[in-house]
Amino acid sequence: MYQVKRASRSEFVSIRRLDYHVRVWGQPRAGEAPLVMVHGWMDVAASYQFMVDAFAQDRFIIAPDWRGYGLTESGVVDNYWFPDYLADLDFLLDHYAGDQPVDLIGHSMGGNIAMLYAGVRPERIRRLVNLEGFGMPVTKPSQAPGRYAKWMDELKKLHAGEMDLKAYDSVQGVARRLMKTNARLDQHKAEWLAQHWARANTQGQWAILGSAAHKVSNPYLYRVDEVLEVYQRISAPTLAVEAGDNSLDQWFAGKFTLEQYHERLKKVANVRIERIEDAGHMMHHDQPELLARLIEAFLASGTEENQ
């Protein structure tokens, strides 16, 4: 199995009536910004372990399991609202950083959260790294009636047990599931991840550590005009990293393209776009060494050139 080089410790922080699980590496250092890393949809904080191990320097790193993921409680809810992630992050930074700005890294859904948070609270972010947090396709008001109906229909399916997450007979079964999703993930890493991505239940099966309610569609439309207003308030130097595999083409079949994403990024005052070859959406699993070097160089740099 994969051998961890930098061990983390688990902490639980009571915020917003939830016991939030936070994975922490290292110790705070005077004069050094804490490094905060937030994961994506149906993922967990431990997902960053390979990249943490690849860093050349030790850092004080904070990585929460979002509400309803990993070891963080879901609360008494049957669906999730995106603004809650922003508020959760705000409370967590109060606890771990106080008034000190942080370096913030987000992957996928976590990248979208990081971008929005950096525009809403620009004074709290020193450097920002977005790992394939692309956002969503443009929506039209005419889609609203259907979206609300879909939301209500999915809530009924959730309560009928029709959206439950699959359980697996063994941790090896979970690992095989991870490797099926990501063909570049080797068995050693997959078996290590599986033990953090799932947990044995009372029936002896391995259940995914994620609430099925995360599968319920958001009833609100994705308002690109609002997102762009937030983007243009981001003041931190920003690194946007994308993988060699074009995930947007796979997901949206032309409804939202890399070119459109790059056009949105022009609203960010100080952004640099980089690409990691031979990697898919889970680039921190596929190329953790390359990604770690790129991120460390960016975080250490004082250069603030627009691109």
pLDDT digits (tens, 9 = 90+) for 179-237: 999 999 999 999 999 999 999 998 899 999 999 999 999 999 999 999 999 999 999 99
* Cα separation values, 2 from 54, 192, 286, Å: 13, 6, 14
How far lies 207's CA from each of 47, 158, 163, 164, 263, in Å? 17, 17, 14, 10, 40
Ramachandran region of residue 143, left (φ > 0), alpha (ψ -120 to 50) or beta? Answer: alpha
Is residue 307 pLDDT above 70, yes or no? Answer: no
| pLDDT tens per residue, range 264-302 | 999 999 999 999 999 999 999 999 999 999 999 999 986
Q: In this structure, what are the phi and psi dihedrals at residue 225, rounded to the nearest 5 degrees? A: -60, -40
Residue whose C-alpha is closest to residue 71's, from 177, 199, 241: 199
How is the chain split into domains, by residue range? Answer: 1-136+222-307
Q: Which residues contact 258 (CB under 8 A, 6 or more apart)?
A: 242, 246, 248, 249
What's the pTM?
0.95
The single-letter DSSP state of residue 269 is S
The CATH architecture annotation of domain 1-136+222-307 reads: 3-Layer(aba) Sandwich (3.40)
How much is the CA Rg of the chain, to the nearest whole Å? 19
Question: What one-character DSSP code corresponds to residue 16?
Answer: T
pLDDT digits (tens, 9 = 90+) for 126-143: 999 999 999 999 999 999
The secondary element (H helix, E strand) that includes residue 258 is helix 258-265
Confidence class of residue 1 from pLDDT cuts 50, 70 and 90? Answer: confident
Segment holding 95, helix H or strand E: helix 82-96
- Are 286 and 185 in contact by the 8 Å Cβ rule? The answer is yes
Helical spans, DSSP H, in 129-199: 144-159, 171-181, 187-197
CB 110 within 8 A of CB 40: yes
What is the arithmetic mean of pLDDT over 241-264? 96
